[in-house]
Amino acid sequence: MSKLSPTDARSTSAGLGLRRGLLPELLNLSADAVDFLEVAPDNWIGVGGRFGESLSQLSARFPISAHGLSLSLGGTQPLDTELLRRTREFNDRHQVMLYSEHLSYTNDDGQLYDLMPIPFTDEAIGHVASRIRQVQDALGRRIAVENVSYYAAPYQALAEIDFINAVLAEADTDLLLDVNNLYVNSINHGYDAEAFLARLPGERIASYHIAGHYDEDIDLKVDTHGAPVKSDVWSLLASAYRRFGVRPTLLERDFNFPPMAELLSETDRIRSMQHAYADRARLLEQAHV
């Protein structure tokens, strides 16, 4: 099984989500506007015509990462082997540099059309880890799993951080750290985001996501992907870079699209932060030589 590490794309790289609503602007981007694009293969597998041709043009010009939506890693229904087969073909065709999925479940005798949280139990750790290993075997590559935002917590025999760490270790897989999800969960469920970061296995972090959220109340944040990234999330990303080093980082925006210049301003901010922390790490390394 091949291991696709962050160095397969430059670690100091900032990406943007490939959304159909952004296609005209994305097709007109200069080659250096972003470092990679991320696509949800579930929404593109089997798509032909104008949309399919647009995706082929973009994957020929930009590195592509893929972020799955429908494998239901925590579900009880059998894994969708046909979806896995077609996902592997998609990844190969578009030379996907990193494939990730959500640490959640999405079906229960049919699609739920949402990312449902998994109970934080020892039994669930074994179940999910086994399914992740099956997915990695079927795709022929190591994957990363994303920490998800959740609002109504399922049964929690373990803390969220303990559950995530145990799944990563037992499945021998990597983490896509969604910084906005971490921030939203820390507010909604009353824990310290910095303490959570401190306990993550940095060597397993393959990449980062950041996004905007909605402030419903002082103690209720909603992960929307429909607004600019807020200052607290930028600060938490900076803390992650400081602790673990720079990784490829994606700006997620799923709707309520602003002018492309505003999105590129946010990806440029990611790049600036990455170069600053990468330079700092090099200076520290040289100082210890």
Helix (H) or strand (E) holding 197: helix 193-198
242 located within any domain: yes
Spell out the residues 6+ positions from residue 115 whose beta carbon is closer than 8 angstroms to its own. Answer: 102, 104, 106, 148, 149
For residue 194, the enclosing domain spans 6-287
27 located within any domain: yes
1 located within any domain: no
202 located within any domain: yes
- Output the domain CATH number for residue 196: 3.20.20.150
Separation between Cα atoms, residue 129 and residue 134, nearest integer Å:
9
Separation between Cα atoms, residue 34 and residue 43, nearest integer Å:
22
Separation between Cα atoms, residue 197 and residue 79, nearest integer Å:
31
250 located within any domain: yes
Separation between Cα atoms, residue 289 and residue 243, nearest integer Å:
20
Written as tens digits, the pLDDT of the chain (289 aa) is 333 343 445 688 999 999 999 999 999 999 999 999 999 999 999 999 999 999 999 999 999 999 999 999 999 999 999 999 999 999 999 999 999 999 998 856 555 445 778 999 999 999 999 999 999 999 999 999 999 999 887 788 999 999 999 999 999 999 999 999 999 999 999 999 999 999 999 999 999 999 999 999 999 999 999 999 999 999 999 999 999 999 999 999 999 999 999 999 999 999 999 999 988 877 777 776 5
Closest CA to 211 of 249, 259, 239: 249
238 located within any domain: yes
129 located within any domain: yes
Helix (H) or strand (E) holding 267: helix 260-287
CA distances from 162 to 33, 77, 81, 201 (A): 38, 25, 30, 11
Give me the number of domains the chain comprises.
1
